């Protein structure tokens, strides 16, 4: 175990076992707001501040990919004023933060449906992706109107279309090929999934991709999830015994 220090003097333990891809289910904004006697929109704004801290921690620990579950397919069921506030907040984030992320070498990508989003937000998403497309330091993936079941269904439909068109031999279909048809097919699968807010479920997030992901559940509400809390998750991950269904010596042989 060694220490890492960033330009702000923040120091924390750095485990020999580091995740390359971290996915986060950001839960607890509303409950945080209620405890503070604030509106739900204030809770979501505080959640944006937490994103900045986690991005700093990812930079410090050289995390290659950070995926944030920003808005699920089921979140459309929330009260309309809250949905509008969430979309407005996402648009504000894209207007205010993308240039700084671009300057820092971060590539931004979005996963999820876009046909149910408004044209202005889709335009901002596309501009953000185009601006940062060639950045290589790290990747920030934002899941908007995303659902794991939808992802598997759309992958199946696209694969079936390629089989019908003769581009793919049905007998050659396997798990690796199926993974390539998911919206994350170009990314490594998550090594670690963090869920804040106290619940211990995945809420229809990356169901296929989480086959061998390590999970870290914390009672900390998302607006309170700072760099120190992120460090604790990394330390916990560093102590995991990742066998991927085999034994330690077999995994070491495969990875070596």
| pLDDT score at 16 | 63
Give the pLDDT of residue 245: 75
Q: How much helix, strand and coil, in percent to the nearest 5, is found in the chain?
A: 50, 15, 35
The whole-angstrom separation of Cα 110 and Cα 122 is: 10
Q: What is the CATH code for 16-251?
A: 3.40.1180.10
How many other CB atoms sit within 10 Å of the CB of residue 79?
A: 9
Q: Do residues 43 and 224 lie in contact, with contact meaning Cβ atoms separated by under 8 Å?
A: no
| Confidence (pTM) | 0.88
Assess contact for 52 and 221: CB atoms under 8 A.
no
- Which are the catalytic amino acids? 27, 75
Residue 223 and residue 232: Cα distance in Å, rounded? 16
Domain ranges of the chain: 16-251
Mean pLDDT by 10-residue block, N- to C-terminus, for the chain (256 residues)?
41 68 96 93 92 94 97 95 92 95 97 96 97 98 98 98 97 96 96 97 98 97 96 95 70 51
pLDDT at 195: 98
């Amino acid at each position: 175990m060694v220490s890492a220090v960033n330009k702000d003097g923040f120091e924390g333990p750095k485990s020999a076992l580091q995740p390359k891809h971290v996915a986060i289910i950001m839960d607890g904004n509303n409950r945080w707001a209620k405890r503070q006697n604030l509106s739900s929109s204030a809770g979501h704004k505080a959640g944006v501040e937490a994103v900045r801290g986690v991005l700093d921690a990812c930079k410090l620990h050289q995390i290659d990919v950070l995926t944030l579950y920003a808005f699920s397919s089921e979140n459309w069921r929330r009260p309309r004023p809250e949905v509008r506030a969430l979309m407005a907040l996402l648009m504000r984030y894209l207007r205010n933060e993308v240039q700084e992320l671009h300057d820092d070498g971060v590539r931004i990508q979005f996963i999820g449906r876009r046909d149910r989003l408004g044209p202005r937000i889709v335009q901002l998403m596309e501009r953000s992706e185009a601006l940062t497309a060639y950045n290589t330091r790290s990747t920030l993936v934002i899941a908007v109107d995303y659902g794991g079941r939808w992802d598997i269904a759309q992958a199946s439909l696209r694969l079936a279309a390629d089989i019908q068109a003769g581009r793919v031999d049905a007998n050659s279909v396997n798990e690796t090929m199926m993974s390539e048809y998911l919206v994350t097919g170009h990314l490594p699968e998550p090594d670690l999934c963090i869920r804040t807010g106290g619940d211990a479920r995945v809420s229809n997030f990356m169901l296929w991709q989480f086959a061998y992901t390590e999970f870290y559940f914390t009672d900390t509400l998302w607006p309170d999830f700072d760099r120190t809390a992120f460090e604790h998750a990394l330390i916990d991950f560093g102590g995991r015994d990742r066998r991927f269904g085999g034994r330690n010596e077999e995994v070491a042989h495969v990875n070596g």
